[in-house]
Structure 1
Amino acid sequence: MNITVFCSAADLDDRYTGPAREFAELIGRGGHTLVWGGSESGLMKVMADGVQDNGGRLVGISVEFLAAKARRDADEMVFAKDLAERKALLLARGDAVVVMVGGTGTLDEATEILELKKHGMHTKPVVLLNAAGFYDGLKQQFQRMEDEGFLPLPLTELVFFAEDGVGALAYLEESAGLE
Structure 2
Amino acid sequence: MRRLSLCVYCGSRAGADPAFELAATALGRAMADDHIRLVYGAGDVGLMGAVARAAQAGGAETFGVIPTHLMDREVGKTDLSTFVITETMHERKKVMFMNADAVVVLPGGAGSLDEFFEVLTWRQLGLHDKPIFLLNTNGYWDPLRALLTHVVDQDFADPSLLEFIQAVDDVPQLMAALRA
Same fold (TM over 0.5): yes
- Aligned partner of 2:96 in structure 1 is 90
- Aligned partner of 1:5 in structure 2 is 8
The residue type equivalent to 1:150 in the other structure is F
Q: Secondary structure at the match of 1:55?
A: coil
CA contact (8 A) 2:14 2:20 kept: no
- Aligned partner of 2:68 in structure 1 is 64
Instruction: Point out the more displaced range, 69-78 or 5-14.
Output: 5-14
CA contact (8 A) 1:118 1:153 kept: no
Q: Secondary structure at the match of 2:71?
A: helix
Identity %: 29
Q: CA deviation at 1:81?
A: 0.9
CA contact (8 A) 1:61 1:79 kept: yes
Structure 1, residues 4-28: CA drift from partner, whole Å, max 9, x if none?
Answer: 0001111334121111111111111
The residue type equivalent to 1:38 in the other structure is A
Structure 1: give runs of 5+ residues left out of the alignment: 175-179
Q: CA deviation at 1:156?
A: 4.6
What is the rounded CA distance, in whole Å, between the counterparts of 2:6 and 2:62 in structure 1? Answer: 10
- Aligned partner of 2:23 in structure 1 is 19
The aligned runs of 1:60-139 (5 Å cut-off) are: 60-68=64-72, 69-139=75-145
Provide TM-score, normalisation by structure 2.
Answer: 0.91
Structure 2: give runs of 5+ residues left out of the alignment: none
The residue type equivalent to 1:20 in the other structure is A
What is the rounded CA distance, in whole Å, between the counterparts of 2:87 and 2:126 in structure 1? Answer: 26
The residue type equivalent to 1:82 in the other structure is T
What is the rounded CA distance, in whole Å, between the counterparts of 2:131 and 2:89 in structure 1? Answer: 22
Is residue 33 of structure 2 the alignment partner of residue 47 of structure 1?
no
- Aligned partner of 2:37 in structure 1 is 33
Q: CA 1:153/1:119 → structure 2, altered by over 3 Å: closer, same or farther?
A: farther
Structure 1, residues 83-139: CA drift from partner, whole Å, max 9, x if none?
Answer: 111111111011000011111111111111100110011110000111111111111
